[in-house]
Amino acid sequence: MDTQGQTKKVYLQTFGCQMNEYDSGKILEQLHALSYHRTEDPRQADLILINTCAIREKSEHKVYSLLGSLGRIKLENPGVKIGVGGCVAQQKGEEILKRVKLVDLVFGTDNIFELPDMLARSDNGERVLRTEWHPGNKKIDNFIPVFPGTRGQETPITASIAITKGCNNFCSFCVVPYTRGREVSREPDNIIEEASRLVGWGAKEIMLLGQNVNSYRAGQTRFVDLLQRLNGLEGLERIRYTSPHPKDFNEQLAQAHRDLPKLCEHLHLPFQSGSDRILKAMRRNHRIAEYLEKMEMVRETVPGIALSTDIIVGFPGESDEDFHGTLQVMDAVRFDHIYAFKFSPRSDTPAADFPDQVPERIKADRLARIHELHERTLKEIHRGLVGSRQEVLLEGAHPRESGALIGRTRGHKSTTIPGCSRKPGEIVNVEIVATRKFSLVGREVGRGS
Ligand code: 5AD
Ligand code: SF4
């Protein structure tokens, strides 16, 4: 099948965060140059790749169970190659090769660019493992895609750009410093070039990605400078970013949300725990009073800004009182959206070995209480939005409601617009007429600005 000149098929499944989705684009870009086309059917594939996530135990388990089922395909078709990339591959490369005999290649987060060489070696019968870091390699860090099809959608209305990689924070629960290495910021010109290409391919919204995105710094260019430059990009309508760290969130960035028309009125700022004692054990480098002050400051600067966060429940040693602190922060801030997780011990991280691990039953109960409180709050927030005017960037047809389009408000609320005759990529003004559990329903009242 891989006779020269013939196209080959790759099946690629991605787990984890937007950074991993972004890396999958880089993987497809490498493979496109080798005449691979994407298939959604692993049975049709010459090459099967899994881009893995290690953030919680569950995500890691998924990798091994998927490898089990994909392995059966290889038993039927021994010619197919199976590769594992991403965060689990970075951390557990050798173990994967040992444990799963059907795997042909394993590559870490900094090794995507070695895929052509790895595939050639694999053709020669080698089982390949590449997980070494390439610090300071500008060619890798400043990569720009040239092929629009690698973005997962033909016309990516909302597209992502990684502006930093890695993390230097070493929060005690987090695997990222071990799977993504030390923090590196890309050259600003290079980011703007990538953004221009994406806009040329139809992108209206750009999400800047980084494990600690607001600590971006390249020479004299700080994060807000980069936002300012992107704001000047013609054809781009919206800018978002994720995830910032509270220690680096400042007044200047809040003012950017107020002053830069393209920067959306939405801030995702993880607080993880409402207890100073737990924050200290998490090595988060900030206190909860500072977090609350920053949230107050941003609300004063940008009235109506939507706020979202990440929360971990059941961190080692978390008492009922500590957990109560988390509920109190939720009550004080009233988030529009939350991502809440049960603490999951990860190898290499200090917190995995902390004493006083919280029993699963208590974690599950605390998580349920978090969701309960959030849903109650959200109902009230949504009720308050009925009758309001919102700008919605249309992203596509509703998957289940015929004639309806879906899009997002500037506050990142998913909004359904029944009977909408506009096209994806357009911005429409809507009046919110109803609410659902996690989304809004709008009626078109005209074209947006
Ligand atoms: N256990 C549970 N949640 C975690 N997160 C990161 N590491 C862990 C872990 N070991 C959560 C944090 C982070 C989000 C991306 O994932 O809330 O902000
Ligand atoms: Fe998962 Fe973190 Fe890796 Fe993203 S960076 S894929 S969240 S472990």
pLDDT tens track for 117-131: 999 999 999 999 999
Average pLDDT over residues 15-24: 94
In percent, how much of the chain has pLDDT > 90? Answer: 92
pLDDT value of position 319 = 98
Exposed, middle or buried by CB within 10 Å (0-12, 13-18, 19+), for 419? exposed
**Domain tally, the chain:** 4
DSSP one-letter string for 288-299: HHHHHHHHHHHH
Is residue 136 very low, low, confident or very high in pLDDT (cuts 50, 70, 90)?
confident
Does 86 reside within a domain?
Answer: yes
Could you tell me the distance, in angstroms and rounded to a whole number, from the CA of residue 3 to the centre of ligand 1?
Answer: 45
Is residue 88 lining ligand 2, measured as CB closer than 6 Å? no
Q: Which domain holds residue 313?
A: 267-384
Statement to judge: residues 13 and 114 lie in one domain? yes
CB 296, CB 269: distance < 8 Å: no
Give the integer Cα–Cα distance in Å for 441 and 92: 45
The ligand whose atoms approach the alpha carbon of 348 most closely is: 1
Residue 143 has a pLDDT of 86
Looking at residues 392-402, what average pLDDT do you find?
A: 94
What is the CATH classification number for the domain harbouring 432?
A: 2.40.50.140
Domain boundary among 332, 349, 384: 384
pLDDT exceeds 80 at position 215: yes
User: Among 34-43, 387-396, 440-449, where is mean pLDDT lowest?
Assistant: 440-449
Does residue 1 surpass a pLDDT of 80? Answer: no
pLDDT class for 3, splitting at 50, 70, 90?
very low
Calculate how far, in angstroms, residue 345's C-alpha sits from the geometric centre of ligand 1. 10
Kind plus residue range of the DSSP H or E element containing 163: none
Give residue 422's Cα distance to chain centre.
28
Q: Give residue 196 CA to ligand 2 midpoint distance, Å.
A: 27
175 lines ligand 2 (CB under 6 A): yes
In a domain, 374, yes or no: yes
Statement: residue 109 has pLDDT above 70: yes
- Burial (CB < 10 A; 0-12, 13-18, 19+), residue 214, is buried
- Which tens digit of pLDDT belongs to each residue from 63-72? 999 999 998 9
Whether the ω angle into residue 243 lies within 30 degrees of 0, i.e. cis, is yes
Segment 63-87 shows an average pLDDT of 94
The predicted structure's pLDDT at residue 152: 57
Domain with 173 in it: what CATH number?
3.30.750.210
The DSSP secondary-structure symbol of 168 reads S
Contact of 399 with 368, CB cutoff 8 Å: no
* pLDDT tens per residue, range 260-274: 999 999 999 999 999
Amino acid found at 448: G
- Binning pLDDT at 50, 70 and 90, where does residue 5 land? low
* CA–CA dist 258, 254 (Å, integer): 7
Whether 15 maps to a domain, the answer reads yes
Residue 138 lies in a domain: no
* Ligand 2 atom showing the smallest separation from residue 175 Cα: 8
Residue, of 166 and 152, whose pLDDT is higher? 166
Q: Which atom of ligand 1 is nearest to the CA of 174?
A: 7
Which tokens hold the place of 242?
């994720």
Domain co-membership, 278 together with 259: no
Query: Region 33-37: what's the mean pLDDT?
Result: 93
Lining ligand 1 with CB less than 6 A are 55-56, 173-174, 270, 272, 310, 312, 341, 343-344, 346
Query: What pTM was estimated for this model as a whole?
Result: 0.95
- Atom number, ligand 2, closest to the C-alpha of residue 20: 6
